[in-house]
Amino acid sequence: MPEPSPSDRRKAAELAHEVARTLLIDCVELGYDISFKCQYCGMERTWGRREMLGERLRKSLAWPISRLQRAVVCPVRGCGGPMPILRLMKGGYQDGFDRADQERRRDWLINTLLDAGIAPDAVGLAWKPGQ
Ligand SMILES: [Zn+2]
């Protein structure tokens, strides 16, 4: 099989418009996981909520997926391939409330961030302690 051309790779990595502008923090709030596939070595992994709130990705929580895609590279040693294929997937989280309830969902998000040691205003959420 011939090596994909740069334009093949660009096409493969292309994000749907709604996905491109979705923020990483929105994925946490809406209960999405992100599937990651390297275009060079084929490595696949899933970023769940734990990874999004973890050391490596938490600095990118306020970024849209399009920016995240440009910033990350394949973690496989000797690969380091850029522009992974990123897809959003329903994460199947059971958090004990209806995600359609925006107010409840926002409260949950604030608490989840605080539990993870992340200041909500550091990821762009308007929030005052004691609110
Ligand atoms: Zn790779």
pLDDT in tens, 4-46: 999 999 999 999 999 999 999 999 999 999 999 999 999 999 9
The pLDDT tens digits of the residues spanning 38-49 come to 999 999 999 999
Residue 126: the pLDDT is 80
Ligand 1 centroid vs 64 CA: distance in angstroms? 22
Structural domain boundaries enclosing 61? 6-97
Ligand 1 centroid vs 80 CA: distance in angstroms? 6
What does the block give as tokens for 87? 């897809």
Residue 58: the pLDDT is 95
Residue 90 placed within a domain: yes
Residue 14 placed within a domain: yes
Residue 69 placed within a domain: yes
Residue 129: the pLDDT is 67
Ligand 1 centroid vs 101 CA: distance in angstroms? 39
Q: Which of 55, 69, 56, 54 is nearest to 23 (CA)?
A: 69
Ligand 1 centroid vs 52 CA: distance in angstroms? 20
The pLDDT tens digits of the residues spanning 45-74 come to 999 999 999 999 999 999 999 999 999 999
Residue 79 placed within a domain: yes
Give the angle subtended at the CA of 17 by the CAs of 81 and 20, to the nearest 5°.
40
Ligand 1 centroid vs 77 CA: distance in angstroms? 8
Residue 118 placed within a domain: no
Residue 3: the pLDDT is 87
Q: Which of 35, 34, 33, 43 is nearest to 74 (CA)?
A: 43
Percent pLDDT > 70 in the chain is 96
Residue 104 placed within a domain: no
Ligand 1 centroid vs 12 CA: distance in angstroms? 14
Residue 65 placed within a domain: yes
Distance, CA of 98 to CA of 8 (rounded, Å): 40
Place of tokens 């997937």: 89
Numbers of helices and strands, H then E, in the chain: 6, 3
Residue 15 placed within a domain: yes
Domain count of the chain? 1
